Amino acid sequence: MNRTNLSLRAIFVVTVASSLFAFSAGCSSGEKPIAPASVSLLENPRSVEAPDQAGSTASANNARDLANAQPEEVLNSKPSERDVGLNGGDAQAGQPLTYQALGAALQKIGLTPEDDKTYWEMKVKATTDDGMDWTFPINVSLSKGQNVIWINCMFGQVDKNAAPSAQSMMDLLTANSIMGTCFFLLRSDRELLLQQSVPNVGVSPSVLGESLKEFFRLLKASEPLYRGFFSANPNGGGGPFQ
């Protein structure tokens, strides 16, 4: 088990232990429980501004997807090789990248993104610690105001017949607290995805490449957290096992 997973488990145990202690203390006092205060939810700055992307989802051990995907090594090129001039956005001057410049930056990194008109998608393959071969579709797009670059990986709809346990949900929430700008999101249509936001200011191919590299590292390391949300049948079911 790698250090990321160990950290996730350790924080999860501490969180649960603290909650249990607080609960037991309240029960033993004999006092009437205090009603929770109402909470007003403001607009979530981490909400999905990117278009609802109904394209590819991650897949495991899918021979066709693996054959058409790029190896993860493409994300490991040297930063100095990525920083080249781009049209439509001047990273050195702090100007935001346009949609076309975003696609050009991905190409300079060495990726071969497909233009879906509202987002760029590329498929990258990797083998996780448990020996499973994965194809991860990574979508990169701009927010409506073009002030944020969104990086997404869609896992597919959570399988109704493989409902995740409460612990699995807690593990995902705990992971969100330690992954920086990356976080798991479950949409209203039960679509699970990993998302990252990158401020669209001074983003050179090097900066974008390092963000994608870290995003992909977390995709691989967190596989034990999201794998249980889907059917384990590689010939059927939802999400990654299509």
Determine the pLDDT at residue 48: 44
pLDDT band at 189 (very low <50, low <70, confident <90, very high): confident
Determine the pLDDT at residue 125: 93
pLDDT at 225 over 60: yes
Going from N- to C-terminal start, the domains of the chain cover 57-230
pTM for this predicted structure? 0.72
pLDDT at 118 over 60: yes
Topology at the third CATH level for domain 57-230: Yope Regulator; Chain: A, (3.30.1460)
Query: Rounded to an integer, what is the distance from CA 153 to the centroid of its chain?
Result: 5
- Would you report the helix, strand and coil content of the chain in percent, each value rounded to 5? 40, 20, 45
- Count CB neighbours of 144 within 10 A: 9
Over the stretch 65-91, which tens digit does the pLDDT of each residue have?
999 999 998 887 665 555 544 444 444
Q: CA-to-CA distance for 205 and 207, rounded, in angstroms? A: 6
pLDDT at 10 over 60: no
pLDDT band at 232 (very low <50, low <70, confident <90, very high): low
- Count CB neighbours of 4 within 10 A: 18
Q: Which residues contact 183 (CB under 8 A, 6 or more apart)?
A: 46, 176, 194, 195, 196
Q: State the alpha helices, DSSP H only, in 132-222.
A: 166-176, 205-221
pLDDT at 33 over 90: no
Over the stretch 41-55, which tens digit does the pLDDT of each residue have?
333 444 444 445 556
Determine the pLDDT at residue 241: 57
